[in-house]
Amino acid sequence: MPLALLALAVSAFGIGTTEFVMMGLLPNVADDLGTSVPTAGHLVSAYAVGVVVGAPLLTALGSRVPRKRMLMLLMALFVVGNLASALAPGFWTLIAGRVLAGLPHGAFFGVGAVVAARLVPQGRQARAVATMFLGLTVANIVGVPAATLLGQHLGWRATFLVVTAIGLVAMAALARLVPYVPVEAHQSVGRELRALRDRQVLLGLLTAVFGFAGVFAVYSYLASITTEVMGFGESSVTLVLALFGIGMTLGALAAGPLTDRALRPTLYGSLAALAAVLVLFRLTAHIPWAALVAVVLLGAVGFMTTTPLQMLVMQKAKDAPTLASASNHSAFNLANAGGAWLGGAAIAAGWGWTSPAVVGAALAAAGLALAVTAGLLDRTTRRDRTTKGASRVVAAGSPHAEELSPSSPASGS
């Protein structure tokens, strides 16, 4: 694997840290800015809004910018957004800073995935993309717990200053390690938009929304489940979140080679396993050791879905994959918001703290149904093309082929 992937992974580490650390800092931010924790929770949504809006917008605006320069510009915007968050004088300016920090998220991973895939030979592309995503998973093991502790002891502003510094290091790594990757001559916004309308691309994005929402239906309330159901103290929440991050890393490591070998079976298997693990989590949540094992498994099978989904939309978008790749991260953030909302609705309805696992299992099953439907439609389309191709070959070899040929006098040419 080329060293350029290390620069992409470092960038992903910074992005993953700033995305998830706010969940652990909400009480500190609320106390400091004089607001309630539920109101401070809008800061999580603000980042997601930035991702959903920024992924297609910035990708379209940068469609003619060379890939390396685009990556550095996006990371520069990331730095500005986190610095603005650290220096925000009030709640609404912090909201603006979070939106700004989220804008480059999807576009960076979209462009980064295309660059990663082009840095390696055919047959290793999914592993290259998974290597970039390792930075995101390691952020949940090291970055988020460390940044949360830092924020609790030195203030939440110190956390965002450190993330700003990580962004600067990532920019230096991108400048030093990523080679020049030109934009293809045929690349254009119109071509990217047409690729995004492809049925297989749209089904892939819908699969991401439903399937990954199953993960966030539980993950969003994992801290409360840890204390209210598993029976651990608040000091154990960081450990449980780190175990989830370890599972994510294991899933990313497994997803790369499996996706290179068999993309759709890997996607089907990971979504089916996700639904099963969510049911298992519901059944074992009251057994501490079993619940911890289920948390690791949830992180693993949940994150195993990301690489095949990323490669699927890139492949189906053919020679205009960047916008589809970036839009996939918008889909993941819609899954984040939707899964959290549905899981919270189940809790608010009085169904108990483990009810989000049931909601998540249903969402994962819906994602699996969409993925299988897309696979069947794809197979039917390929079969029809093969049949038409064979018919043309037979027609060309028939005794009357000359009559049927467009160049024959009978054709009117």
Type of residue found at 277: V
- Structure tokens that stand for 408 in this block: 């024959």
Least confident of 9-23, 163-177, 178-192, 193-207: 178-192
The answer to whether 95 and 43 have CB atoms below 8 angstroms apart is yes
Specify the pLDDT at position 136.
85
Q: Residue 8: name the closest of 98, 89, 120, 90 by CA.
A: 120
Return the CA Rg of the chain: 23
CATH of domain 192-390: 1.20.1250.20
- What residue has token string 């992903």? 12
Q: Which residues of 236-266 are buried (b: 16+ CB within 10 A; e: fewer)?
A: bbbebbbbbbbbbbbbbbbbbebbbeebbeb
Q: Which residues of 53-87 are buried (b: 16+ CB within 10 A; e: fewer)?
A: ebbbebbbebbebebbbbbbbbbebbbbbbbbbbe
pTM surpassing 0.75? Answer: yes
Type of residue found at 291: A
Specify the pLDDT at position 131.
87
Give the integer Cα–Cα distance in Å for 290 and 150: 30
- Please name the residue ranges forming H helices in 139-221: 144-154, 156-177, 189-196, 199-219
Residues 362-398: tens digit of each pLDDT: 999 999 999 999 999 998 877 766 666 655 655 555 5
The answer to whether 195 and 320 have CB atoms below 8 angstroms apart is yes
Residues 222-269: tens digit of each pLDDT: 878 888 899 888 778 778 888 998 998 899 889 989 999 999 999 999
Specify the pLDDT at position 389.
62
pLDDT at residue 317 is higher than 70: yes
The answer to whether 177 and 7 have CB atoms below 8 angstroms apart is yes
Residues 98-147: tens digit of each pLDDT: 999 999 998 998 889 889 888 888 888 888 888 888 888 888 888 888 88
Give the integer Cα–Cα distance in Å for 21 and 299: 17
- DSSP class of residue 141? I
Q: Which of 3.40.50.300, 3.20.20.80, 1.20.1250.20, 3.40.50.720 is the CATH number of 1-183?
A: 1.20.1250.20
pLDDT at residue 405 is higher than 70: no
Domain with CATH 1.20.1250.20 in the chain: 1-183, 192-390
